[in-house]
Protein backbone atom coordinates (compact mmCIF):
# COMPACT_ATOMS: atom_id res chain seq x y z
CA UNK A 1 0.00 0.00 0.00
CA UNK A 2 1.59 3.34 -0.99
CA UNK A 3 1.98 6.40 1.20
CA UNK A 4 0.18 9.56 0.05
CA UNK A 5 0.57 13.22 0.89
CA UNK A 6 -1.46 16.25 -0.13
CA UNK A 7 -0.54 19.92 -0.25
CA UNK A 8 -3.22 22.57 -0.69
CA UNK A 9 -2.85 25.96 -2.29
CA UNK A 10 -5.34 28.82 -2.37
CA UNK A 11 -5.83 31.29 -5.18
CA UNK A 12 -8.34 33.99 -6.04
CA UNK A 13 -8.91 33.73 -9.77
CA UNK A 14 -11.32 34.87 -12.40
CA UNK A 15 -12.34 33.21 -15.60
CA UNK A 16 -14.83 33.46 -18.39
CA UNK A 17 -16.17 30.52 -20.36
CA UNK A 18 -16.86 31.61 -23.93
CA UNK A 19 -18.55 28.31 -24.84
CA UNK A 20 -20.99 28.46 -21.90
CA UNK A 21 -24.61 29.32 -22.75
CA UNK A 22 -25.33 31.03 -19.42
CA UNK A 23 -23.83 33.60 -17.09
CA UNK A 24 -20.49 31.78 -16.84
CA UNK A 25 -19.49 33.22 -20.21
CA UNK A 26 -19.07 36.58 -18.48
CA UNK A 27 -16.10 37.46 -16.25
CA UNK A 28 -16.50 36.12 -12.73
CA UNK A 29 -14.23 34.86 -9.99
CA UNK A 30 -13.73 32.09 -7.48
CA UNK A 31 -11.78 31.45 -4.30
CA UNK A 32 -10.10 28.26 -5.45
CA UNK A 33 -8.36 25.58 -3.46
CA UNK A 34 -5.88 23.38 -5.32
CA UNK A 35 -5.06 20.01 -3.74
CA UNK A 36 -2.05 18.16 -5.12
CA UNK A 37 -1.72 14.51 -4.10
CA UNK A 38 1.57 12.61 -4.44
CA UNK A 39 2.41 9.03 -3.56
CA UNK A 40 5.34 6.70 -3.15
CA UNK A 41 5.72 3.04 -2.30
CA UNK A 42 8.13 3.89 0.49
CA UNK A 43 9.50 6.80 2.45
CA UNK A 44 12.68 8.73 1.69
CA UNK A 45 15.71 9.08 3.96
CA UNK A 46 13.82 11.65 6.08
CA UNK A 47 10.80 9.29 6.50
CA UNK A 48 8.73 11.38 4.09
CA UNK A 49 6.95 10.78 0.80
CA UNK A 50 8.52 14.09 -0.17
CA UNK A 51 9.28 17.38 1.50
CA UNK A 52 6.25 19.68 1.23
CA UNK A 53 8.65 22.54 0.50
CA UNK A 54 9.84 20.81 -2.69
CA UNK A 55 6.24 20.47 -3.81
CA UNK A 56 5.54 24.11 -3.02
CA UNK A 57 8.60 25.29 -4.95
CA UNK A 58 7.69 23.10 -7.93
CA UNK A 59 4.12 24.35 -8.40
CA UNK A 60 3.58 27.63 -6.59
CA UNK A 61 4.69 29.91 -9.43
CA UNK A 62 2.50 28.01 -11.89
CA UNK A 63 -0.52 28.31 -9.60
CA UNK A 64 0.24 31.90 -8.56
CA UNK A 65 0.02 33.09 -12.15
CA UNK A 66 -3.75 32.59 -11.73
CA UNK A 67 -3.96 34.72 -8.58
CA UNK A 68 -6.01 37.88 -9.19
CA UNK A 69 -5.84 37.14 -12.92
CA UNK A 70 -8.48 36.44 -15.55
CA UNK A 71 -8.21 33.06 -17.28
CA UNK A 72 -9.53 33.19 -20.84
CA UNK A 73 -9.83 31.00 -23.94
CA UNK A 74 -7.32 32.25 -26.54
CA UNK A 75 -10.18 32.35 -29.06
CA UNK A 76 -12.66 34.21 -26.85
CA UNK A 77 -14.35 36.91 -28.98
CA UNK A 78 -14.02 39.38 -26.08
CA UNK A 79 -10.27 38.85 -25.62
CA UNK A 80 -9.27 42.04 -27.46
CA UNK A 81 -11.55 44.18 -25.32
CA UNK A 82 -10.40 42.42 -22.17
CA UNK A 83 -6.73 43.04 -22.98
CA UNK A 84 -7.50 46.76 -23.26
CA UNK A 85 -8.57 46.92 -19.59
CA UNK A 86 -6.99 43.90 -17.89
CA UNK A 87 -3.25 43.32 -17.38
CA UNK A 88 -3.29 39.92 -15.69
CA UNK A 89 -4.61 37.50 -18.30
CA UNK A 90 -3.82 33.79 -18.44
CA UNK A 91 -4.60 32.34 -21.86
CA UNK A 92 -5.67 28.76 -22.43
CA UNK A 93 -4.99 27.68 -26.00
CA UNK A 94 -8.36 27.16 -27.73
CA UNK A 95 -9.87 25.86 -24.47
CA UNK A 96 -12.22 27.44 -22.00
CA UNK A 97 -10.47 27.66 -18.61
CA UNK A 98 -12.94 25.43 -16.80
CA UNK A 99 -12.02 23.99 -13.44
CA UNK A 100 -11.43 20.64 -15.18
CA UNK A 101 -8.96 22.23 -17.63
CA UNK A 102 -7.17 24.02 -14.78
CA UNK A 103 -6.81 20.75 -12.84
CA UNK A 104 -5.25 19.02 -15.86
CA UNK A 105 -2.98 22.00 -16.55
CA UNK A 106 -1.59 21.92 -13.01
CA UNK A 107 -1.27 18.12 -13.14
CA UNK A 108 0.65 18.28 -16.43
CA UNK A 109 2.94 20.99 -15.08
CA UNK A 110 3.83 18.98 -11.98
CA UNK A 111 4.23 15.77 -13.98
CA UNK A 112 6.82 17.61 -16.09
CA UNK A 113 8.59 18.87 -12.97
CA UNK A 114 8.79 15.34 -11.55
CA UNK A 115 10.18 14.00 -14.84
CA UNK A 116 12.78 16.79 -15.07
CA UNK A 117 14.38 15.89 -11.72
CA UNK A 118 15.11 19.53 -10.91
CA UNK A 119 16.67 20.90 -7.76
CA UNK A 120 14.68 23.71 -6.15
CA UNK A 121 16.27 26.38 -3.98
CA UNK A 122 14.28 28.36 -1.43
CA UNK A 123 14.89 31.99 -0.42
CA UNK A 124 17.35 30.89 2.28
CA UNK A 125 19.47 28.87 -0.16
CA UNK A 126 18.26 25.45 1.01
CA UNK A 127 17.99 22.95 -1.83
CA UNK A 128 15.19 20.43 -2.32
CA UNK A 129 14.67 17.53 -4.72
CA UNK A 130 11.90 15.03 -5.23
CA UNK A 131 12.85 11.47 -4.24
CA UNK A 132 12.99 8.75 -6.87
CA UNK A 133 9.76 6.83 -7.39
CA UNK A 134 7.49 9.73 -6.47
CA UNK A 135 4.22 9.82 -8.44
CA UNK A 136 1.54 12.43 -8.85
CA UNK A 137 -1.79 10.83 -8.00
CA UNK A 138 -4.26 13.62 -8.70
CA UNK A 139 -4.94 17.33 -8.73
CA UNK A 140 -8.26 18.59 -7.40
CA UNK A 141 -9.37 22.17 -7.95
CA UNK A 142 -12.24 23.39 -5.81
CA UNK A 143 -14.30 26.13 -7.43
CA UNK A 144 -16.94 26.79 -4.78
CA UNK A 145 -17.85 25.36 -1.38
CA UNK A 146 -19.88 22.65 -3.15
CA UNK A 147 -18.02 22.02 -6.45
CA UNK A 148 -14.66 20.68 -7.52
CA UNK A 149 -12.98 19.04 -10.51
CA UNK A 150 -10.18 16.51 -10.43
CA UNK A 151 -7.66 15.15 -12.93
CA UNK A 152 -5.60 12.00 -12.67
CA UNK A 153 -4.16 9.37 -15.00
87 CB-side CA count, 13 A: 0
Contact 61, 69 (CB under 8 A): no
- Taking the complete model, does pTM exceed 0.85, yes or no? yes
pLDDT in tens, 72-108: 999 999 888 888 887 899 999 999 999 999 999 999 9
H-state helical runs in 1-153: 52-64, 79-85, 99-116
Does residue 13 carry a pLDDT above 80? yes
Q: Which fold would CATH assign to domain 3-151?
A: Tetrahydropterin Synthase; Chain A (3.30.479)
Q: What is the mean pLDDT of residues 128-138?
A: 96
Looking at residue 85, its pLDDT comes to 83
How is the beta sheet containing 70-73 ordered, strand by strand? 89-92, 70-73, 3-15, 28-40, 135-144, 147-151
Domain boundary assignment for the chain: 3-151
Looking at residue 8, its pLDDT comes to 98
Amino acid sequence: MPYRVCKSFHVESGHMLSKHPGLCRYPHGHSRRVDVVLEADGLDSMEMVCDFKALKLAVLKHIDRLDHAMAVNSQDPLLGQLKAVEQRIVLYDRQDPTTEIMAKDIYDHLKGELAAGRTYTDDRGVQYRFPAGLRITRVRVTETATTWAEYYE
